[in-house]
Chain A
């Protein structure tokens, strides 16, 4: 509701400034004199306001001192990194709508009674917008992080290398930590570790088992051609094959697109592009083929006709109500889907072009970082290690989070109900791990490539306003605007 202040500002500043004048003089001055006086007053006010704004450049001499960072000397045997025995309050800043971190915090409090959590929650969009400010001014000990390369580059996140060494995180499969490493240029993929996952999620295709049986799909497709045939069969049966979110500020067609990219090409090249390896481009032959394939799905009418106004919540509601045979989504929904439509959901990884080919999937850790200015970094690091190694914590990570816990490949895994979609996604995750088929999300390449590149152009593709090559070129241009 800032229409009225706008008006008021307007009329105060320019319409009727006589208020500050001596009315005696007001009657004496001519009309031109008045407007001269008026501008003089305006100038005085603006200059005064400028003086108030301060002449120093923004951002200089802020409230924050140089971050202390973790102890630079390697932690010795004697100085254990844990939460001690004194009362500690860990400040957590989590994402609304995802119960996993809070559940883990409650269990941790139970096991370590001297620790209590002070938890604040916000929507992911709010976290994204406020992250730098919060990390600097109101530093949390643990925070759910958005795209983190800028945050690490700006020195707002604690370098976790010494903890990684102490706890032995560096002996875990490297693919788990790779995405959370940021080098001095703000490029992800290598360099010091700046965050840790509570688990790592993975994407693929969920399907409604009842409807799949109806269209003759008894087992997941082994090739892309088979998948195409099932989509057509669903269409022929009068069902909606794919209700995929792609409306407003969401470019959810990036999920099927990236899956198709992995079917047509090599996941390594896509990761290079995401990690901003110099010279990499998204406009490659295989990516063009993948985008053309996506376009063929749009033209064949496999997507619901209102995908361009469908948000994520609408997609989930429709899938759960049986209004979509397939959806491209991630295993963070496994627990939810097992509860909402028990026994009726299946999951498969996007099939390769040819039978026996390799699979690819987007996979990313649920990243939590420690502010460079945090009060209890050691206790926070201890918590992150506990999440990955404690058996109860790993059970919570699977049952509440639905995704695979972090940690060594041979670590404890809780028993999962046969036939649940959680079991299927965990198995698929293991397969991806073996094949090294994990990719980060193409939307995470830069801070703006999703909002300014993928989203509007995928919406244009749906509307038939852009061709596949131009789409990739537009995204690449947006990418270079930030990287170059």
Chain B
């Protein structure tokens, strides 16, 4: 984007030369108009789709949040009552705490592991092994989340692979129904999320690493830096933007998580894995309280923005 702006900008700045012939200015104006119309025509389909399918539903959610509505019959205007009610739902705080706990698994673990793996793969970047490991590690990202959820719920079952392996190595006492145990359900769900997001983070970070000027590494090596020093002095600072993208994407995935939990635990046992996304779904489709669900959705969006916007600011300050 930035690049195009610069090119366009330079052309525009240089064109209106003072004292140039009238005809030339007209031609320029006409061309600019044509270009403008063309630009709008090219942007229009995407723009219209964006307004219709992104902005309009968002605006509708905001609108619905001021009504008491079952989704079918006449609605009643209730002002801010739904927002007040959202904070009176007893499970609400627990679900928000759960969502924040998921950030550890959905975001921190994949980024940390992704950094380590990408750095390892980079060291043998040209070999076939690197290609294979990239594909293998990225694969979870390709699998639909629903399939991942089902697969993991089998792995976690009381006679599933996880417990079989534990028994094999003599850890019988540790085996349990991972998704049915109050203590282990949320971490177990978190591990599914970590597994899914790890591939994306790893690939993004790896792509970022290829952009780093090899001369930097050479210089560092000449100065006698070891691999660890190299990583912290060159790799990590250069990947600032990629890391910020990874964290943004995964934090949103954690706070707005729904699919993995819907498939694996449905919020159970005893609301131990309830998250706001699932609560919205239950309110809208089971309780048929569309207004309350919309209010919670708006609150969730505000929460996500409140967490993610500072991250963006941090990144932008780093640029300037």
Q: Check if A3 sits within 8 Å of B177, measured CB to CB.
A: no
A9-B58, A60-B74, A460-B270 known; 14 new pairs, CB 8 Å cut-off, are: A6-B252, A10-B248, A18-B5, A26-B5, A49-B56, A49-B59, A59-B72, A59-B75, A132-B70, A155-B73, A248-B266, A305-B158, A455-B268, A459-B269
Stretch at the interface among B47-55, B96-104, B107-115, B164-172: B47-55
Instruction: Determine if A327 is an interface residue (Cβ-Cβ < 8 Å).
Output: no
Q: Chain A residues with Cβ under 8 A from B74's Cβ?
A: 57, 59-60
Is the CB–CB distance between B63 and A50 below 8 Å? yes
Provide the residues of chain B in CB contact with A26, threshold 8 Å.
5, 9
Chain A neighbourhood of B60, CB < 8 A: 53, 58
Instruction: With CB as the reference atom, state the residue of chain A lying closest to B263.
Output: A248
Q: Could you list which residues of chain B lie within 8 angstroms of chain A, going by C-beta atoms?
A: 1, 4-5, 8-9, 12-13, 36, 43, 47, 50-52, 54-56, 58-60, 62-64, 67, 69-75, 77, 91, 144-145, 153, 156-158, 176-182, 248-249, 252-253, 256, 258-259, 264-271, 282, 285-288, 290, 308-309, 312
Contact of B1 among A16, A57, A136 (CB under 8 A): A16
Which stretch in A68-76, A169-177, A306-314 binds the other chain? A306-314
Which residue of the partner chain, among B43, B182, B282, contacts A465 with CB atoms under 8 Å? B182
Q: How far is the CB of A23 from chain B (nearest CB, A)?
A: 4
Cross-chain contact A309 with B158 (CB below 8 angstroms): yes
* Interface majority SS (helix, strand, loop, mixed), chain A: helix
Complex Cα–Cα for A9 and B157 (A): 37
What's the Cα separation between A1 and B262 when bound, in Å? 13
In the complex, the answer to whether A150 meets B266 with C-beta atoms within 8 Å is: no
Residues of B within 8 A of A24 (CB): 8-9, 12-13
Complex Cα distance, B45 from A267, in Å, reads 63
Q: Which residues on the A side are within 8 Å of B286 (C-beta)?
A: 128-129, 447-448, 451
A residues neighboring B (CB under 8 Å) = 1-3, 5-7, 9-10, 12, 14-16, 18-20, 22-24, 26-27, 45-46, 48-50, 52-53, 57-60, 62, 128-129, 132-133, 136, 150, 154-156, 247-249, 305-310, 447-448, 451-452, 455-457, 459-460, 462-463, 465-466, 482
Partner of B269, one of A23, A309, A448: A309
Cβ–Cβ < 8 Å partners of A50 in chain B: 59, 62-63
Given the known A-B contacts A50-B63, A58-B64, are A129 and B268 also in contact in the complex, defined by CB atoms under 8 Å? Answer: no
A48 near B269 with CB under 8 A, answer no
Q: Given the known A-B contacts A9-B54, A59-B74, are A248 and B268 also in contact in the complex, defined by CB atoms under 8 Å?
A: yes
* B55 close to A463 (CB less than 8 A): no
B136 to chain A, nearest CB (A): 21
**Smallest Cβ distance from A448 to chain B, in angstroms?**
5
Separation of A150 and B285 alpha carbons in the complex (Å) = 13
Q: How far is the CB of B39 from chain A (nearest CB, A)?
A: 9
A58 partner, pick from B47, B69, B153, B285, beta carbons under 8 A: B69
Of A57, A247, A448, the residue contacting B287 (CB under 8 A) is: A448
B57 CB to closest chain A CB, in angstroms? 8
**Can you offer 5 A-B residue contacts whose CB atoms are under 8 A?**
A10-B252, A15-B312, A52-B56, A247-B180, A457-B270
Q: How far is the CB of A25 from chain B (nearest CB, A)?
A: 9
Cα separation A18 to B268 with both chains bound (whole Å): 44
- Are B265 and A248 within 8 A (Cβ)? yes
CB-CB < 8 A to B156: which residues of A? 309
Taking a contact as CB atoms under 8 Å apart, the answer to whether B5 and A133 are in contact is no
User: A460–B13 Cα gap in the complex (Å)?
Assistant: 69
* Chain B residues positioned under 8 Å from A451 (CB to CB): 282, 286
**Would A49 and B55 be within 8 Å (CB), given that A456-B270, A460-B270 are in contact?**
yes
Chain B residue numbers with a CB within 8 Å of A19 are: 1, 43
The interface residues of chain A lying within 8 Å CB-to-CB of B181 are 308-309, 463
Note all chain B residues with C-beta closer than 8 A to A136: 72
Known contacts A9-B54, A12-B50; A58/B63 CB under 8 A = yes
Closest A residue to B144 by CB, please name it.
A1
In contact, A456 and B271 (Cβ under 8 angstroms): yes
A5: B residues at CB distance < 8 A = 54
The residue on A at minimum CB distance from B291 is A58
Q: Is the CB of A53 within 8 A of B71?
A: no
Distance of A12 Cα from B55 Cα, bound (Å): 11
A57 near B75 (CB under 8 angstroms)?
yes
CB distance from A133 to the nearest CB of B (A): 7
CA A129 – CA B256 in complex, angstroms? 21
**Distance from B268 Cβ to chain A, minimum over Cβ atoms (Å):** 5
A residues in contact with B309, CB < 8 Å:
14
CB A125 to nearest CB in B, in angstroms, measures 9
Pick from A45, A58, A129: contact of B55, CB below 8 A: A45
Give A50 to B57 CA distance when docked, in angstroms. Answer: 9
A19 and B266 alpha carbons, distance in the complex (Å): 41
Q: With A129-B285, A129-B286, A451-B286 as known contacts, state yes or no: A18 contacts B1, CB within 8 Å.
A: yes
A307/B180 in contact, CB under 8 A: yes
- CB of A23 within 8 A of CB of B5, answer yes
Which of B13, B50, B180 has its CB near the most chain A CB atoms (within 10 A)?
A: B180
Asked whether, in the complex, the Cβ of B9 is within 8 Å of the Cβ of A308, the reply is no
Hey, which chain A residues are within 8 Å of B50, CB to CB?
12
Are B248's CB and A7's CB within 8 A? Answer: yes
Bound CA–CA A308/B47 (angstroms):
48
B180 contacts which of A10, A14, A310 (Cβ < 8 Å)?
A310
- The answer to whether A309 and B180 touch across the interface, beta carbons within 8 angstroms, is yes
When the two chains form their complex, are residues B145 and A1 in contact, meaning their CB atoms are under 8 A apart?
Answer: yes
Q: Which A residues lie within 8 Å of B182 (CB)?
A: 460, 463, 465
Q: Does B145 lie within 8 Å of A247, measured CB to CB? A: no
Cβ of B132 to closest chain A Cβ, rounded Å: 25
Residue from the set A1, A58, A128 with the largest chain B CB neighbour count within 10 Å: A58
Nearest residue (CB) in B for A23 is B8
Chain A residue contacts of B153, Cβ below 8 A = 309
Top-3 shortest CB links A-B? A309-B180, A306-B177, A308-B180
Q: Are B59 and A52 in contact (CB under 8 A)?
A: yes
**Known contacts A129-B285, A309-B157, A451-B286, A27 near B59 by CB under 8 Å:** no
Q: How far is the CA of A52 from the CA of B57 in the complex (A)?
A: 10
Instruction: Report the minimum CB–CB distance from A364 to chain B (whole Å).
Output: 19
In the complex the two chains form, is B67's CB within 8 Å of A57's CB?
Answer: yes
Q: Once bound together, how far apart are the Cα atoms of A76 and B199, in whole Å?
A: 72
Instruction: State which of A45, A129, A448, A459 has its C-beta within 8 Å of the C-beta of B270.
Output: A459
Task: Name the one of B36, B59, B288 contacting A53, with C-beta atoms under 8 angstroms.
Answer: B59
Enumerate chain B residues within 8 angstroms of A27, measured Cβ to Cβ: 5, 9, 12-13
CB distance from A341 to the nearest CB of B (A): 21
**A128–B176 CA distance with the chains assembled, in angstroms:** 33
Assembly CA distance A117 to B313 (angstroms):
60
Q: Could you say which residues of chain B place their CB within 8 Å of the CB of A22?
A: 36
Expressed in whole angstroms, the minimum distance between the Cβ of A309 and any Cβ of chain B is: 3
Instruction: Collect the chain B residues with CB atoms within 8 Å of residue A6's CB.
Output: 252, 256
Which one of B72, B179, B180 lies within 8 Å of A132 (CB-CB)? B72
